[in-house]
Structure 1
């Protein structure tokens, strides 16, 4: 059921963004590359054991489709992926247990960007917020362990576009991404898999620095004037 909901939501998001792009006067294809830094995870398992681990920093790639509204606003659908290792230590009164998981982290996000107009139109500072889904896949779960988890996710970022021509530029940005269960935020890695056992006190916040190659088409819509 969860996979069906996820697939349906993803399909609706893509149809929405492509419908907008088909009638847009300007849209961008953003090819992302960034480095995501280490993030520590500490939490108490449901069985009373304690867990601590680190989602190792690694390369993240992605692609975004952005529809530009009236020069100052953009709506973007973005996919990001990171392959990394998650070394974990489970503690108990008897002995500690160490294990390293190979984890794939996928973000599917949609949201808005607000651009700050400057006299030099080739430089476009921006900030943005995005909402969507995070799909965590454990490539080597133990027998009986969960192999995947789909959670609500959000992202916030600031940066700037630098256009070398009307059609080509680069984007430099700093970005914070989080996979959450509720307002508190959480990632789930129980005694077996990615998605079992940890309470909502656990957190996953990924900070990254990077950029994108921008391929731009068309012209933005002008602001309405009387």
Structure 2
């Protein structure tokens, strides 16, 4: 991940000189705010050890920095965050119905590419893209026993897809409307919610997070 970010920063520094004769690259900053729908998850290790729950809906917000590396092709470095909860029920050691209301914080650091397209003279610009990066998942929960409070953090691989449109109100300011899918591989798993020494020690299967959101944000172009 560090190598990818370093490459991205080097591109920001050197690409304008290399491409000055072909076109003048656009640079943009976006402020994001989206509604994220709930997502159910489950993990089954065997008939005596499994759990299931729901990551509640909530707001996903953050910021993105875009740099045009080719005509209508942008690199974007973005940070997104969601604060939510995940009511979870688990079966462990022959006892059914244990319950944990988990406070969940998900921080995404993503690097991706966006392709924009529009008709000449139009104020509406469509776009679509994908991204790769990491999710830092923080959780806190207590299953009803004051002596059984657990705080845990996991850093996992994440990927995303998005598509939408920008409506340019002025040559520099626009409103972005987009649909987005973010996925965190193995984030909702034994090692995250029920870590070593916790209620689910030994559970090694996992269930990925899939978060679909609708929303958008405000865009400022430094050149448009």
Q: Which residue of 2 aligns with 1:43?
A: 43
Structure 1 residues 198 and 136: alpha-carbon distance in aligned structure 2, compared to 1, 3 A threshold:
farther
- How many residues were matched structurally? 208
1:167 and 1:215 in contact (8 A); partners too: yes
SS state of the match for residue 118, structure 1?
coil
**Is 1:173 the equivalent of 2:174?**
no
**Is 1:153 the equivalent of 2:158?**
yes
Q: Summarize the alignment of residues 200-219 of structure 1 with structure 2, pairs less than 5 Å apart.
A: 200-219=205-224
1:170 and 1:214 in contact (8 A); partners too: yes
What whole-Å deviation, never above 9, does each CA across 1:181-225 have from its counterpart, x for those lacking one? 4xxxx52244357x9765455121000001010011025xxxxxx
What is the TM-score when the length of structure 2 is the normalising length? 0.81
Q: Which residue of 1 aligns with 2:74?
A: 74
Q: Which residue of 2 aligns with 1:222?
A: none
Structure 1 residues 123 and 18: alpha-carbon distance in aligned structure 2, compared to 1, 3 A threshold:
same
Q: Summarize the alignment of residues 175-190 of structure 1 with structure 2, pairs less than 5 Å apart.
A: 175-181=180-186, 186-188=187-189, 189-190=192-193
2:174 and 2:218 in contact (8 A); partners too: yes
**Higher radius of gyration, 1 or 2:** 2
2:42 and 2:52 in contact (8 A); partners too: yes
2:202 and 2:137 map into 1 onto residues whose CA distance is 15
Alpha-carbon distance, 1:121 to partner:
3.2
Q: Which residue of 1 aligns with 2:117?
A: 116
2:141 and 2:151 in contact (8 A); partners too: no
What is the TM-score when the length of structure 1 is the normalising length? 0.80
Structure 1 residues 165 and 70: alpha-carbon distance in aligned structure 2, compared to 1, 3 A threshold:
farther
Alpha-carbon distance, 1:99 to partner:
0.6
2:179 and 2:13 map into 1 onto residues whose CA distance is 29
**Structure 1: runs of 5+ lacking an equivalent:** 1-5, 220-226
2:114 and 2:128 map into 1 onto residues whose CA distance is 6
SS state of the match for residue 95, structure 1?
strand
Q: Which residue of 1 aligns with 2:99?
A: 98
Alpha-carbon distance, 1:20 to partner:
5.9
Q: Summarize the alignment of residues 131-150 of structure 1 with structure 2, pairs less than 5 Å apart.
A: 131-140=132-141, 145=150, 147-150=152-155
